[in-house]
Chain A
Amino acid sequence: MPKTNPDVLQGTLDLLVLKTLVRGPMHGYGIAVHIQQVSDEVLRVEEGSLYPALHRIEQTGLISSEWGTSDNNRRAKYYRLTAAGRKQLAKEEENWDRLTRAVAKVLRFA
């Protein structure tokens, strides 16, 4: 991801992580791959930012973790969305919508 304002960056990453987990529990690698693929390789999450973010979000209670077995029979830490996480996600999506619409309006104003 391009290096911009770290707070916006952090917030956006959180949003993407939460959204990714809507589909079901996933480990860190899976989350990174998902975001990469769905955005057509435009958004690449750096490992250096992903794991601190995951652990941080877990401390806030929006996601929870447990150890499980991956497809290739390896042990991996899976993260899932909690109820509070779901509510927060809805709010964040709404905020993001408003933000982007506002930015678009300003840009369109010639």
Chain B
Amino acid sequence: MSWITRLMGSIRKNKLEDQLDNELQFHLDMRTREFIAAGMTPDEARRHASRLFGNQMLLKENTREMDTIGWIETLWQDLRYATRTFLRAPVFSTVAIVSLALGIGANTAIFSLIDAVLFESLPVRDPRHLVLVWEKPSAPLSYPLYKQIRDRNRVFSGVIAFHAFSDWNVGTNGETELMTGQLVSGNYFSVLGINPAAGRLLSSEDDRVPGGHPVAVISYGFWKRKFALDPSAIGKGIDIFGHPFTIVGVTRPEFFGTQSGKLPEVIIPLMMQGSVIPRGSFLEGTEVKWLYVMGRLTPGMSEEQALASLNVLFHQFVMAEAGPRIAAEQQRELSRKSLELASGSQGLNDLRKQFSFPLRILMVVVGMVLLIACANLANLLLARASTRQKEIAVRLAIGAGRWRLVRQLLTESLLLAFAGGALGVSFAYWAGALLLRFLAVELNVTPNLQVLGFSAAVCFISGIVFGLAPALRATRADLTSALKQGSGSFGPKRLDRLLVTTQVALSLLLLLGATLLVRSLQNLKHLDAGFNRDNVLLVSIDPTFTGYEGQRAAEFYKELLNKMEAIPSVRSATVASDVPPGGLSWFQDITIPGATAKPERVSVNHVGTRFFETFGISILSGRDFDLRDNETAPKVIAINETLARHYFRRDNPVGRPTGLGTIVAVVKDSKFESLRAKVRPMVYRPFLQEPISWGDGKMLAIRTTGAPLQIAPVVRRAIREIDSKVPVFGITSMAEQVNDSLRQERLFAALTSLFGVLGLLLVCIGLYGIVGYAVARRVNEIGLRMALGAKPANVLWLVMRESLWLVGAGLLIGIPAALASARWISALLFGLTPLDPLSLALSILILLLFSAIAGYLPARRASRVDPMVALRYE
């Protein structure tokens, strides 16, 4: 094929050139001989012959074009030239490549997160045909309904069901560890199209008899950690909450299950529900709604059709359940219930909801940083281009096409862009992984085509963006002025000015955002949350998992608290069902005679004695719970300020009776839900006055005299002494827990500050470079001025005026822009409005300070110029 020959021609260019020269020389010589034979002198003949050939250069080029692939050659030429030029200016190249690396790397990192959270589908077969079947208002369905859908549907090729992830006590080789586990239907793996890494996965055979299939599938990570990838692990036993299970298979490393961001380590069949949820069988009645149901649509089936068919099935089911004798009203109500379908391609994706907004903001932020970096590069290239003005003018004069030169200059900027991009991308993967670890999210963020394609596109566009303007400017056909040693106005020309002004404006935006978020974080950290978070140890524990209930459970807790208080460095110990800022779990109805018209729902916290003391919640009036308030005593409650204010206004509530008990105390408000949320009315009840049932785990809280985590091993031992089978779900300190709840805010504040500082740095470098360069070009004039009597201070002011002008113009544009766009992040702020004057003033001040320094340094150099040296400089 001719293109192969031509490719070879491009590669073996020199040989080709020689041959062509010879060929043409021969022809030339023959013509010359002709003319000599016709009577001309040898010189005349030669001249005449040459003239016949016309423009030899052009002829050679045209001919060569036939033998080679033209554009590859020019590209290769340009690249080599560009590389040589950059190697010769190492400082410039390093600064350029590093700034680009930071800008492009940051963009890539954020984009890869966005891609994983927002776009990636489940790594299962054909996720687009998966749908989640759910019933308003929340997703889970009951087991009998699932069976009905599974067996009688006409729209799915397979229907699976699974329970949400939960924490299980798993024993391997004698060691017990808390792991994430999941209950799934037998056909789970086959419908999702997942293959094992070793052994086999669950099948429908494992889903027949309740309690009859003690088999488990473990994750690849589990296999690696506990069995070192030993194939004989298949068939070994593990125990879950003390119940024996046999390992039958291992999932592959890339398997993530149906909830993105989490990874189940142990998977067992639905039928084994009794082993991990000891509260009776969920496999019978329809009251317990515990299963997420997903179906794979048959090919060609649309969601609407499927939904219609499923709802028919659903109504039959509901009617059958209700029984033959139901009132018409009930019937009507039942007929209004219906199923819904949602896309299952991303599984149960809470991450999307949680992170999509912050991620989008981050994307804008890194985009701005990249723009600033590009502006810097554009300025740098403009400056360099004007030093090469003579060279370019000469080339244009001897006939180089303007576009050819522009292409060459663009190749240079693209080379910079891709070099910076390559560096940036490798740094991005490292940074992205770090980010994810910090967020405690497990996502499959490995190099994938979309992200790499995105980076390449960013490199390319940046290269063009910052390269085009300088390239066009440099090749303007204003040859005569360029060929003379020219000097422009003092300070940069219009384009540079515009760029710097824009950079300053963008930088202000970034700084304002960062300042606002950092201050929000400070506000959150120093918030009076209504409780004392220091020196409190939290232990999450649930004896009902091993069968404790009612009176036995109460005794367990009593013994536990006694043991705790016996430990030397313990000031006080208590239990609670809710701990701030972990969220609220219990709700009950309360009636207050004289204050409520009908029962109202309030959150209830079941706590032990000395609860308020342990948590440092001030009792505003009344008394703390004590040993008097046990199961036989009259029921008492304590209420928080908000509840008191709501129902009692200014009256003293202590002593008033309510449906849940007599009020014995009013306590200060505490942030139970989260540090940000408003405090809701809350009722505290002695835990002994509510029978303890399954799933009613509590948090043991211990106030210590010293560092709380130090007594953790002692506490564990004490619990084991009472009953070694009771699962301990986690031990942490209150301070850690509070800090944890602020994780996202902390990350955000850190990231935006990082990017803000980065942007500021880039602006300062840019400013320094531009002003410095202008000074260098105007050294003559400075010398002249000084020789004529200007003092160093005057010169200093002359130069600084320029930079201050630029920054001022930038601020003029930037301030309104910043105020307008700060509104977008108001959802992330706490305790501040986006128009917070202090933050704005702070950002402006920081910007002015640093840009003043950046402009001062070259100005100082200018003022130190020796007039004699300067005048001689040409």
Contacts and interface: CB of A to CB of B under 8 A. Distances in A.
Given A47-B54, A48-B54, A28 B2 contact: no
Contacts of A59: 2, 5-6, 66-67
B22 interface: yes
- With most chain B CB atoms within 10 A of its CB, the pick from A51, A67, A74 is A51
Interface stretch (B38-46, B55-63, B473-481, B682-690): B55-63
Interface in B17-52: 19-20, 22-24, 26-27, 29-31, 52
Given A47-B27, A70-B26, A55 B63 contact: yes
Interface of A is mostly: helix
Nearest to A56: B66
A15 interface: no
Contact of A52 (B6, B31, B54, B66): B66
Contacts of A70: 26
30 contacts: A27-B23, A27-B26, A28-B23, A29-B30, A29-B31, A46-B54, A47-B27, A47-B54, A47-B59, A48-B58, A48-B59, A48-B62, A51-B20, A51-B59, A51-B62, A51-B63, A52-B59, A52-B62, A52-B63, A52-B65, A55-B63, A59-B5, A59-B67, A60-B2, A61-B2, A67-B19, A75-B26, A76-B23, A77-B19, A77-B26
Interface string A55-79: 1101111000001001000111100
A13 B15 CA distance: 28
Contacts of A74: 26, 29
A75 to B, nearest CB: 7
Contacts of A46: 52, 54
Contact of A51 (B22, B24, B52, B55): B24
Nearest to B65: A52
A45 B31 CA distance: 13
A47 B2 contact: no
B824 interface: no
B179 to A, nearest CB: 68
B586 interface: no
Given A48-B59, A58-B66, A77-B26, 14 more contacts: A27-B23, A28-B23, A28-B27, A29-B26, A32-B27, A47-B24, A47-B27, A47-B54, A47-B59, A51-B63, A59-B66, A59-B67, A67-B19, A77-B23
B53 interface: yes
Contacts of B24: 47, 51
Contacts of B58: 48
A43 to B, nearest CB: 15
Contacts of A29: 26-27, 30-31
Nearest to B58: A48
A61 B6 CA distance: 13
Contacts of A27: 23, 26-27
A70 B20 CA distance: 16
B552 to A, nearest CB: 94
A87 to B, nearest CB: 18
B53 A48 contact: yes
B762 to A, nearest CB: 50
B392 to A, nearest CB: 29
Interface residues of B, number: 24
A27 B28 CA distance: 12
Contacts of B63: 51-52, 55
Contacts of B54: 46-48
A52 B54 CA distance: 14
A59 B274 CA distance: 79
Contacts of B22: 75, 77
Contacts of A55: 63, 66-67
Nearest to A60: B2
The 6 tightest CB contacts between A and B, nearest first, are A55-B66, A59-B2, A29-B27, A29-B30, A56-B66, A52-B62
Contacts of B66: 52, 55-56, 58-59
Contacts of A48: 53-55, 58-59, 62
A97 B566 CA distance: 118
Interface string B61-79: 0110111000000000000
A47 B52 contact: yes
A101 B62 CA distance: 34
Nearest to B2: A59
Given A55-B66, A77-B19, A47 B53 contact: yes
A78 to B, nearest CB: 10
A42 B62 CA distance: 25
Nearest to B60: A51
A61 B5 CA distance: 11
Contacts of A75: 22, 26
A60 B66 CA distance: 10
A26 to B, nearest CB: 12
A42 B792 CA distance: 81
A51 B64 CA distance: 9
A32 to B, nearest CB: 8
- With most chain B CB atoms within 10 A of its CB, the pick from A61, A67, A76 is A76
B26 A76 contact: yes
Contacts of B59: 47-48, 51-52
A70 to B, nearest CB: 7
A52 to B, nearest CB: 5
- With most chain B CB atoms within 10 A of its CB, the pick from A28, A46, A47, A61 is A47
A55 B53 CA distance: 16
Nearest to A44: B52
A100 B316 CA distance: 87
Nearest to B54: A48
Contacts of B29: 74
A51 B23 CA distance: 9
B486 to A, nearest CB: 39
Nearest to B55: A48
A28 B2 CA distance: 21
A37 B809 CA distance: 77
B72 to A, nearest CB: 16
Interface string B1-17: 01001100000000000
Contacts of A61: 2
B155 to A, nearest CB: 60
Contacts of B67: 55, 59
B65 to A, nearest CB: 7
A29 B27 CA distance: 5
A47 B22 CA distance: 15
A27 B59 CA distance: 17
- With most chain A CB atoms within 10 A of its CB, the pick from B2, B27, B65 is B27
Contacts of B31: 29
